[in-house]
């Protein structure tokens, strides 16, 4: 009875989610496969190697997962890739890494339950070891779990599900040596092992590529036919290709290995119990080990949770952001400590593998400690390396269509194969010749140089990008850049200047604002809480004597004029045992004070920063606990987003005009930060402060006022956005900044035009009995306020409008209004207060609407979105950042249009080269098929001349056209299977076929035509001139190569290759014209000159070499006329019929480059003709009722017909309303 296949899911919900089936070896299947392999000369084994699914199913039978010897894995993403894995058995003293094997053993020995001992025969005999089934896939180990009845993998310490408090209490003392050894059985060595394969392994893997196997087959076939020169040329090309490929792959492996291994192995101090510290190699670390971070810093060999002390870390390797980050110890008490540890949520307390700890902040006599949470490939760096080692295939329509096109060529080859076999049998050709010639037709149809020629355009584009400062670590994505139709931009540092300038401050006093002040360093503010907050509430540190940290913090601190010092241990007596950062005004300010003041007042300006709660993107705030020298109590200072800070302050301290004042600044594009202060209880000691939750500190505060920062737009921003909009590429702003500031910047840079209204989507979560709701607030769409609702509605109906959405609103709509998400994403231009993970979610939403999404950011908070987008561009000074596929060394967005232009040029180049190589195969195929009719063929040197001298030279030089200088509205097609491209290829094929058949039939009707022999003299050459040389140098032509049909077709087809290359090598609007590509023009001119020369002035030596025969001069002139006629017909078909008629009247709708307004602005008579012709061609091509391509296009058409969209001003939409009515508010 056949067993039903059991399928399980592993990594459920994760990016690498896979389906898994179990199999056991089957003897009779293996015997059958062995017989098949022998009979097929090993071809069956190659097929099973290329197709893992067939390989497993043909040699194994289905089995339960727990008994499986072999596993079949399939990814659940759109690529549905198959993998096979072998299961092995591992011996361990326990089944799970975080259980105590000794305790487990004692429990079962003490139990003495006879029944359990029988059922679990030997199960808990740990001395002998428990057998665990494991398998490895992409550098990750998976272990069998009896409870789950499935395989699982262990991330690290977070699998325990411990809270922050439990990590302090249960995991802060370290592991004993036996515990460490037991866990290492499951987690292995702590190393990111990038094994550099040997050249032999790489060679075997490269040679077993289907393309090279096909080439090997071709070479063997040509050698049998004695086509030694051509076979040798192909072998030479293949060897060059393989050597180049091996060199590149080996170099990448070595570079990755060196990058990973540079600091991966080092000596670390490991805690054994509370007090014992021993030196060990970092490779021995396992999750749960406690390591000591030295005062002078270290390169982190693992991911670890900082639970004792603070660290300053450079995370540029992971994020591309070179600004040091302060890491604080994990909270041990309060509400925060009760939360389950999560690496993403607690990254401010996590030290990541591969990052550099620059320095530590520690207590006198105590050590900075961290507990290892992940090791090896489970770390953030390990996962990054895995993504480089095992990249996902690039899902691009061009490559899918290329495979379909090759399948079509295989079909054409099949027809030729049958034709050759039938014709040869009818002509009584020997069996050996039939086999060779019928197989030869297959090698002719599929061009051997196709992959190399296709890659050339991308390589050239990559070089051009490097010249303009854009570095690429994923070359295949360059083509994808040519299809971008939406680009998301971060604001700060991307659209605007990275540095902020202090415009002024506005303090609050007695519940109201005082007039704005331009400086904060005046003597009158010296002792104020406002300046104290500016001087202390930051994460700055001194590295090698220089202040370093966030640019905003640097500007804010510089505005105070104060000095930051990190004192030595001897100077800390005044601050208990704590060694804090100390800030104080400059000495001249202290000495210049009023002499009547008590001495204590001078000293009180010196402030020590006792504890820091770092800035959190989720909380949108940071705070510090400080103590003024000479005072017994401590103070808390808070800074952050104004709305957040105001909500944490006492109501009476927040000015009544807070909202209006904030709006007035944000509307002008200022970045506003609010400050607050609170005096803490005197009983609080520095020990208690270290363990306090920030929620207990950041509450019941006094509002201090606002800092107004000016964030200037970069000079290049407006021009670049205008170019993108003119090219019909949608632009969005995705920022963590305030909503009104973002809207102001969007208007100033031209992302939203002055006359276009913005609708703020104010979404609120459910509260009490009220369901989740959305209020639709219309902003002023002109400098003058909209007078009433009716004018706002008219403005929206008559022209474009934009939505603006906050991160809070995004979260509410995702959860409670999912049906509105696509509608809003279609028109939302400003996304404000977006957390880093929300940026990634937004990119996924836009991709689900069939947008080809680009993301441009600074690489810090945008890592996830940069990686998720089709094309991520990081503005970084690093040459190559692993944070995104593209890195621009220029610090503005001018790189975006450059990248899109080069992407479009590379994409069109790929199309041109593919079309050319396809036509080259078909032209040669037609020539050979016609010659087979008279039992002839092209000669060895004719093949050699065509393939090496014409095809390779043209294919590699036609890819050199640079990108067009500006972006146009029209976008290139995304795939080969599109109307314009298919029509172009088919028309050229028909044209070439027609002219070759014409030549073939005409030559046989000539009066001088006869079956050619070495004695033939169609040229009327004197017998005294050549008879001797002909008879002595020309052996009998057994293959019937030399004949009039062969010579005529060789001449015509040689010109056809060049004509097709020129026709397909298009320039504007995506590439520079071909006449700017001088290598291509020189190659074409040289080949045309040579061909015309041997056509009109035959040279006996060349004729003998190319195995062509002499024909009368009149026939040569006739061939010249036919060649000129073919060139004219090809150019006419491509330019007039395809580019003008068909593209304009039939295909232009699919590109999305034409809008109704453009059509209506044309000449009425011309528009009427266009409509008539378009209807005629549309009927002909059956495109009459074809829906628009892309979900976003379809949705846009639907919303045009929806009278209730956009919702009316000030209306409210409630969750749960099935019709989603918009309730108007009076």
Supply the residues annotated as catalytic: 490
Question: Is the peptide bond between 1206 and the residue preceding it cis, with omega within 30 degrees of 0?
Answer: yes
- 762, β-bridge pairs: 775
Residue where the block lists tokens 């000669």 = 939
Q: Cα 353 from chain centroid?
A: 22
Q: Which helix (H) or strand (E) is 1028 found in, with range?
A: helix 1027-1033
Cα(1076)–Cα(674) distance, integer angstroms: 57
- Residue environment code for 665-695, b if the CB has 16+ CB neighbours within 10 A, otherwise e: bbeebbbbbbbbbbebeeebebeebbebbbe
The half-sphere exposure of 10 on its side-chain side, counting CA atoms within 13 A, is 26
- State the first-to-last Cα distance of the chain, in angstroms, to the nearest integer: 73
- Residue 782 is classified by DSSP as S
**At 195, is the secondary structure helix, strand, or coil?**
coil
- Residue environment code for 853-874, b if the CB has 16+ CB neighbours within 10 A, otherwise e: bbbbbbbbbbbbbbbbbbbbbb
Quickly list DSSP for 1068-1118: TTTB--GGG-HHHHHHHHHHHHHHHHHHHS--HHHHHHHT-----HHHHHH
Which class for 168: exposed (0-12), middle (13-18), buried (19 or more C-beta within 10 A)? buried
User: What are phi and psi for residue 859, nearest 5 degrees?
Assistant: 90, -10
What's the 3-state SS for 524-593? HHCCCHHHHHHHHCCCCEEECCEEECCHHHHHHHHHHCCEEECCCHHHHCEEEEECCEEEECCHHHHHCC
Which class for 948: exposed (0-12), middle (13-18), buried (19 or more C-beta within 10 A)? middle
Cα(380)–Cα(795) distance, integer angstroms: 50
Helix axes 979-1004, 895-933, angle to 10 degrees: 30
Which class for 1119: exposed (0-12), middle (13-18), buried (19 or more C-beta within 10 A)? buried
- The residue count for the chain: 1226
- Residue 849 is classified by DSSP as T
Q: Are 341 and 158 in contact (CB under 8 A)?
A: yes
- Residue 326 is classified by DSSP as E
- Helices (DSSP H) in 427-470: which residue ranges? 431-445, 450-467
Which pair of tokens denotes residue 510? 């007695």
């Amino acid at each position: 009875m056949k067993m039903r296949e059991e399928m399980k899911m592993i990594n459920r919900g994760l990016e690498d989610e896979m389906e898994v089936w179990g199999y056991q070896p089957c003897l009779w299947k293996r015997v059958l496969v062995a017989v098949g392999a022998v009979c097929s000369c090993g071809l069956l084994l190659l097929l099973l190697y290329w197709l893992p699914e067939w390989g497993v199913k043909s040699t194994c039978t289905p089995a339960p997962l727990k008994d499986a010897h072999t596993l079949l894995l399939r990814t659940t993403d759109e690529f549905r890739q198959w993998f096979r894995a072998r299961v092995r058995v591992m011996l361990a003293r326990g089944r799970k890494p975080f259980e105590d094997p000794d305790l487990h053993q004692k429990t079962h020995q003490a139990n003495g339950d006879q029944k359990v001992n029988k059922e679990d025969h030997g199960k808990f005999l740990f001395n002998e070891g428990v057998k665990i089934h494991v398998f490895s896939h992409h550098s990750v180990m998976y272990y069998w779990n009896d409870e789950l009845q499935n395989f699982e993998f262990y991330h690290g310490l977070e699998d325990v599900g411990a809270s922050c408090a439990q990590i302090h209490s249960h995991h802060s003392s370290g592991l004993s040596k036996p515990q460490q050894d037991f866990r290492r059985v499951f987690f292995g060595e702590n190393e990111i092992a990038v094994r550099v394969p040997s050249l032999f392994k790489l060679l075997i893997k490269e040679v077993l590529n289907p393309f090279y196997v096909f080439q090997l087959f071709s070479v063997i076939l040509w050698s049998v036919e004695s086509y030694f020169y051509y076979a040798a040329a192909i072998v030479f090309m293949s060897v060059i290709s393989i050597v180049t490929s091996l060199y590149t792959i080996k170099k990448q492996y070595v570079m990755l290995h060196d990058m990973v291994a540079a600091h991966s192995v080092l000596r670390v101090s490991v805690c054994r119990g509370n007090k014992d510290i021993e030196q060990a190699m970092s490779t021995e670390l396992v999750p749960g080990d406690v390591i000591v971070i030295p005062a002078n810093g270290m390169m982190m060999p693992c991911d670890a949770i900082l639970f004792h002390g603070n660290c300053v870390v450079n995370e540029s390797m992971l994020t591309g952001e070179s600004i040091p980050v302060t890491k604080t110890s994990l909270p041990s008490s309060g509400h925060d400590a009760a939360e389950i540890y999560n690496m993403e949520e607690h990254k401010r307390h996590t030290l990541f593998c591969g990052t550099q700890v620059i320095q530590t902040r520690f207590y006198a006599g105590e050590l900075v400690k961290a507990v290892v949470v992940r090791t090896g490939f489970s770390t953030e760096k390990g996962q990054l390396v895995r993504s480089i080692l095992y990249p996902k295939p690039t899902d691009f329509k061009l490559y899918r269509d290329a495979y379909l096109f090759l399948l079509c060529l295989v079909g054409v080859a099949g027809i030729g194969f049958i034709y050759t076999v039938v014709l040869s049998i009818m002509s009584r050709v020997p069996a050996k010749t039939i086999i060779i010639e019928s197989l030869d037709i297959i090698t002719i149809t599929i061009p051997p140089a196709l992959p190399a020629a296709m890659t050339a355009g991308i390589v050239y584009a990559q070089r051009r990008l490097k010249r303009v400062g854009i570095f690429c670590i994923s070359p295949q994505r360059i083509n994808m850049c040519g299809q971008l139709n939406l680009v998301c931009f971060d604001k700060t540092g991307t659209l605007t200047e990275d540095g902020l300038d202090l415009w002024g401050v506005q303090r609050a006093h007695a519940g109201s604002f005082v007039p704005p002040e331009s400086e904060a360093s005046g003597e009158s503010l010296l002792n104020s809480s406002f300046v104290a907050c500016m001087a202390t509430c930051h994460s700055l540190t001194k590295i090698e004597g220089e202040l370093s940290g966030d640019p905003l913090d640097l500007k804010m601190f510089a505005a105070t004029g104060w000095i930051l010092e990190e004192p030595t241990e001897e100077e800390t007596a005044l601050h208990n045992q704590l060694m804090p950062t100390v800030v104080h005004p400059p000495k001249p300010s202290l000495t210049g004070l009023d002499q009547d003041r008590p001495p204590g007042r001078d000293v009180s300006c010196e402030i020590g920063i006792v504890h820091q709660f770092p800035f959190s993107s989720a909380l949108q705030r940071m705070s510090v606990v400080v103590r003024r020298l000479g005072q017994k109590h401590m103070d808390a200072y808070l800074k952050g987003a104004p709305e957040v800070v105001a909500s944490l302050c006492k109501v009476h301290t927040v000015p009544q005009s807070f909202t209006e004042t904030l709006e007035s600044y944000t509307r002008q594009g200022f970045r506003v930060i609010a400050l607050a202060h609170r005096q803490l209880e005197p009983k609080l000691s520095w020990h208690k402060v270290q363990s306090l939750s920030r929620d207990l500190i950041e509450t019941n505060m006094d509002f201090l006022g606002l800092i107004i920062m000016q964030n200037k737009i970069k000079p290049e921003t407006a021009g670049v956005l205008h170019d993108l909009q003119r090219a019909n590429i949608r632009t969005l702003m995705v920022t963590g900044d305030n909503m009104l500031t973002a809207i102001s910047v969007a208007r100033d840079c031209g992302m939203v035009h002055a006359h276009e209204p913005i609708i703020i989507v104010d979404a609120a979560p459910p509260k009490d009995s009220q369901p989740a709701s959305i209020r639709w607030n219309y902003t002023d769409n002109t400098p003058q306020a909209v007078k009433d609702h009716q004018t706002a509605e008219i403005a929206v109906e008559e022209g474009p409008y934009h939505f603006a959405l906050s991160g809070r609103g995004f979260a509410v709509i995702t959860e409670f209004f999912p049906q509105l998400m696509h509608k809003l994403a279609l028109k939302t231009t400003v996304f404000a207060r977006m957390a880093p993970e929300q940026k990634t979610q937004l990119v996924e939403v836009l991709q689900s609407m069939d947008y080809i999404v680009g993301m441009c950011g600074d690489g810090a908070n945008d890592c996830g979105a940069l990686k998720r987008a089709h094309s991520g561009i990081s503005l970084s000074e690093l040459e190559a950042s692993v944070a995104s596929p593209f890195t621009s060394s220029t610090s503005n967005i001018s790189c975006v249009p450059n990248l899109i232009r080069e992407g479009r040029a590379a994409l069109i180049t790929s199309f041109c080269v593919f079309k050319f190589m396809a036509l080259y195969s078909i032209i040669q195929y037609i020539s050979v098929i016609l010659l087979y009719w008279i039992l002839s063929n092209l000669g060895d040197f004719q093949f050699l001349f065509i393939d090496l001298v014409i095809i390779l030279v043209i294919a590699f030089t036609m890819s050199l056209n640079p990108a067009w200088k500006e972006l146009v509205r029209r976008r290139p097609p995304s795939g080969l299977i599109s109307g314009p491209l298919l029509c172009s290829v088919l028309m050229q094929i028909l044209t070439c076929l027609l002219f070759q058949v014409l030549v073939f039939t005409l030559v046989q009707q000539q009066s001088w035509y006869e079956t050619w022999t070495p004695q033939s003299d169609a040229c009327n050459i004197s017998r005294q001139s050549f008879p001797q040389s002909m008879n002595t140098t020309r052996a009998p032509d057994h293959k019937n190569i030399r004949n009039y049909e062969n010579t005529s077709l060789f001449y015509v087809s040689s010109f056809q290759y060049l004509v097709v290359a020129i026709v397909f090598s298009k320039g504007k609007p995506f590439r520079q014209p071909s006449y700017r590509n001088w290598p291509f023009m020189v190659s074409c001119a040289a080949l045309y000159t040579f061909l015309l020369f041997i056509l009109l002035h035959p040279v006996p030596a060349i004729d003998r070499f190319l195995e062509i025969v002499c024909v009368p001069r009149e026939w040569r002139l006739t061939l010249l006329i036919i060649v000129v006629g073919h060139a004219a017909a090809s150019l006419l078909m491509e330019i007039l019929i395809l580019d003008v008629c068909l593209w304009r009247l039939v295909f232009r709708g699919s590109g999305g480059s034409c809008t109704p307004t453009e059509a209506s602005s044309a000449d009425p008579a011309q528009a009427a003709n266009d409509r008539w012709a378009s209807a005629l061609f549309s009927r002909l091509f059956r495109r009459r009722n074809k829906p628009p391509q892309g979900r976003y296009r379809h949705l846009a058409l639907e919303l045009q017909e929806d009278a209730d969209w956009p919702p009316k001003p000030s209306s409210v939409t409630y969750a749960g309303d099935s019709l989603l009515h918009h309730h108007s508010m009076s």
